Amino acid sequence: MHPLAQRVLDGDLRGAARVMRLIDDRAAGHVEILKDLFPHCGRAQLIGVTGTPGAGKSTLCDRLIDHYRKQGKKVGVVCVDPTSPFTGGAILGDRIRMQRHFLDDSVFIRSVATRGALGGLSRSATDVARVLDAYGCDVVLIETVGVGQDELDVTRTAHTTLVVVPPGGGDDVQANKAGILEIADVFVVNKADREGADAQVRHLESMIALGREIKAGSIKRPEGHVIHGAVPEPIAAPDDGSWSPPVLKTISAKGEGVPALCDAIEQHRAWLGTEQGRTRAARQAHDQLLAQFRDTLIEEALDTLGPQIDEAAASVGAKKIDPYSASEALIGTFRKR
């Protein structure tokens, strides 16, 4: 066992902080520590909190920390900042929103900034969440902005993912329909003290219903033809044991709606224990391994091929070779090494 891994397992705060810094820097040896920690992971409940910029995710996290601390639980928070490391804006906001918990030594808040590397952000966040899990946190909140690829990867780590959106407008929601539906276990319409909250709830609910109908293959053309599948009527309720994301309203600024949200998180947690829930966990594990495999493979290939990739790219740019043949040639070289 790596001595730093042992320190994490012993609940040594400074040891854990050091491991997280090594992860952030992708420093040599950090993978060995993660290997040692992995068998001790899986105890913590991982909750992803994502959604529109400024929707109130950090304010909501602050309330969730409160809730779990009142239950005597140890809480970890990973804030993922996809903005430029030079502005650091989002992290500052996250820290301000949760600052009253900074002196509580049962709350561990850690930020992960974009490194610009391939999948670097989501991987660091996942790894940091694992360290917090092994360190003994009962709950780990992972805050990310938006629903880009990084967020998809991060939420694949989470047991339950909350998608937080503000009332009205709905442009972001509109633009990200597919992504949002894929990742949301619970929808949270925050800032319900503002106009348009009920409209947003209705919009999300109809989106969810539509998503179910498409899945069931029961969407009809206007003239009544079934496009695919043979189910003639739209499926109204999830009575097949699958999970349908509830849409809840909160006013995080005042803590309103938060107890009901915590109930929904618990219900989802219970569902994860059902047959369908376990199927989903297996799919997540599969996706995670695939992502890890992809990253490891690409890293090794970049290490091995290095400048040859730049040369090939220049040739493709100059139209001396097509990208398909160039990739095949690179893979050929990589295989032979």
144 binds Mg ion (CB under 5 A): no
Query: CA 24, CA 205: separation in Å to the nearest integer?
Result: 38
For tokens 């609910």, what's the residue? Answer: 205
- Contacts of Mg ion in 227-266 (CB under 5 A): none
Query: Which tokens is 312 given?
Result: 């090939």
Count of residues that bind ligand GTP according to CB under 6 A: 19
**From 24, 36, 81, 94, residue interacting with Mg ion (rule: CB under 5 A):** 94
Residue type, 217: G
56: contact with ligand GTP by CB under 6 A? yes
Task: Tell me the residue type at 120.
Answer: G
Question: Could you say whether residue 100 binds ligand GTP (CB under 6 A)?
Answer: no
337 to 170, 222, 251, 302: CA distances (angstroms): 52, 58, 58, 13
97 interacts with ligand GTP by CB under 6 A: yes
Length reported for the chain: 337
Tell me whether residue 138 or residue 172 sits nearer to ligand GTP (CB atom).
172
58 binds ligand GTP (CB under 6 A): yes
- For residue 186, report the phi and psi dihedrals to the nearest 5 degrees: -140, 130
Cβ(196)–Cβ(167) under 8 Å? yes
Pick one of ligand GTP, Mg ion, none as the site partner of residue 56 (Cβ within 5 to 8 A by kind). Answer: ligand GTP
Half-sphere exposure at residue 216, Cβ-oriented, CA atoms within 13 angstroms: 20
Look up residue 274 and give its DSSP letter: S
Assess contact for 65 and 75: CB atoms under 8 A. yes
Least distance CB 124 / Mg ion (angstroms) = 17
Q: Residue 148: which of Mg ion, ligand GTP, none does it interact with, CB under 5 to 8 A by kind?
A: none
- Alpha carbons 249 and 253: distance in angstroms, whole number: 12
Least distance in angstroms from the C-beta of 140 to Mg ion:
16
Kindly tell me which residue out of 138, 193, 205, 287 binds ligand GTP, with binding defined by CB under 6 A.
193
Minimum distance from CB of 144 to Mg ion (Å)?
9
The interface with ligand GTP within residues 105-144 (CB under 6 A) comprises: none
Among the listed residues 50, 52, 58, 144, the single contact to Mg ion using CB under 5 A: 58
* CA 60 from centre of chain: 16
Residue among 57 and 268 whose Cβ is closer to Mg ion: 57
Output the CA torsion sign for 180, 183, 181, 57: negative
| Of the candidates 188, 173, 193, the residue with the CA atom closest to the CA atom of residue 265 | 188
Considering the rule CB under 6 A, would residue 190 count as an interface residue with ligand GTP? yes
Site membership for ligand GTP, residue 191 (CB under 6 A): yes
148 lies in the binding site for ligand GTP (CB under 6 A): no
Q: Nearest distance from residue 82's CB to Mg ion, in Å?
A: 11
Summarize as ranges the residues that interact with ligand GTP (CB under 6 A).
53-59, 90, 93-94, 97, 145, 190-191, 193-194, 251-253
Summarize as ranges the residues that interact with Mg ion (CB under 5 A).
57-58, 94
